[in-house]
């Protein structure tokens, strides 16, 4: 005698999942998400400031490269260009530090499938959570209809994209710091050179002014002497000394 068939009973269940995303830089994580084609709610003004500071640094450095110091005026301009470049370099360093210190408690994401997800900062890393629904047959381990809305795949892809982005960013930052260090040493040397050259031109300029002043005073003395009936003669007439002898005519 055969028993009657009874339809299996399935019940819907939910399982919670999570993944930890380790970071050294929030910006690196954002770059990883962007590489995946995701959108985030973060508008990081420090990145725009960094780009602006980098452009200003390049402009200041190019201006210094094209600077001249063939006259007092040129050397004064060149000295100022060196000072401007140093200030730009210092500002760029400040912007780099600001970018590296960026933090966010939560990052809202929209992935390429339009699914909204949230990364939450926990103990220095970010935690991604997602739910999986499935049906399980009562009285057995049989399951069907698993659906995690792409959470597991997204987690795996994000981990890889984040690791790659963090490594790229770390490499770029090391290169930028090394370049800044080299440029800072060069700029300090150039500023010292500019100051020395400007000082030499200033001495030349001051010496010429002093010579002109001596000549003007000597000419004034001679004109006054002549107006009173004296004849004059310069016994010494060098750049350092002028000696005038005045004799009464007659």
188: helix, coil or strand?
A: helix
Q: Could you state, in chain order, the average pLDDT of each consecutive group of 10 residues for the chain (250 residues)? A: 68 88 90 93 83 89 86 87 91 87 91 94 92 81 77 94 93 84 84 86 83 84 84 82 80
pTM score, whole prediction: 0.63
Closest CA to 158 of 24, 15, 20: 20
83 contacts: CB under 8 Å, gap ≥ 6: 191
By CB neighbour count within 10 A (0-12 exposed, 13-18 middle, 19+ buried), where does 53 fall? Answer: buried
The owner of tokens 């970071």 is 23
Q: What is the DSSP string of 11-69?
A: EEEEEEEEEEE--S-HHHHHHHHHHTT-EES---HHHHHHHHHHHHHHHHHHHHHT---
Helix (H), strand (E) counts: the chain: 4, 8
Assess contact for 194 and 79: CB atoms under 8 A.
yes
CA distances from 144 to 5, 15, 138, 150 (A): 21, 13, 12, 16
| pLDDT of 2 | 54
CA distances from 203 to 71, 196, 197, 212, 240 (A): 12, 11, 10, 14, 14
232: helix, coil or strand?
A: strand
Retrieve residue 185's tokens.
Answer: 């040493």
| pLDDT of 75 | 86
| pLDDT of 180 | 83
Assess contact for 201 and 71: CB atoms under 8 A.
yes
């Amino acid at each position: 005698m055969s028993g009657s068939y009874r339809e299996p009973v399935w019940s819907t269940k939910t399982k919670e999942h999570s993944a930890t995303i380790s970071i050294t830089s929030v910006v690196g994580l954002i770059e990883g998400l962007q590489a995946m084609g995701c959108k985030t709610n973060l508008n990081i003004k420090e990145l725009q400031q960094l780009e602006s500071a980098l452009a200003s640094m390049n402009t200041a450095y190019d201006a210094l490269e094209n600077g001249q110091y063939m006259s007092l005026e040129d050397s004064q301009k060149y000295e100022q260009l060196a000072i401007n470049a140093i200030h730009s370099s210092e500002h760029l360093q400040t912007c780099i530090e600001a970018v590296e210190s960026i933090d966010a408690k939560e990052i809202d994401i929209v992935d390429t499938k339009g699914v909204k997800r949230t990364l939450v900062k926990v103990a220095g890393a970010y935690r991604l959570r997602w739910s999986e629904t499935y049906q399980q047959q009562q009285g057995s381990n049989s399951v069907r209809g698993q659906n995690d809305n792409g959470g597991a795949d997204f987690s795996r892809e994000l981990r890889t994209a984040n690791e790659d982005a963090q490594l790229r960013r770390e490499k770029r930052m090391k290169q930028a710091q090394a370049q800044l260090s080299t440029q800072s040493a060069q700029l300090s040397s150039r500023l010292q050179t500019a100051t020395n050259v400007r000082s030499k031109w200033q001495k030349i300029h001051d010496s010429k002014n002093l010579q002109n002043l001596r000549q003007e005073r000597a000419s004034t003395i001679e004109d006054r002497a002549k107006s009173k009936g004296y004849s004059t003669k310069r016994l010494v007439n060098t750049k350092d000394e002028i000696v005038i002898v005045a004799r009464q005519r007659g």
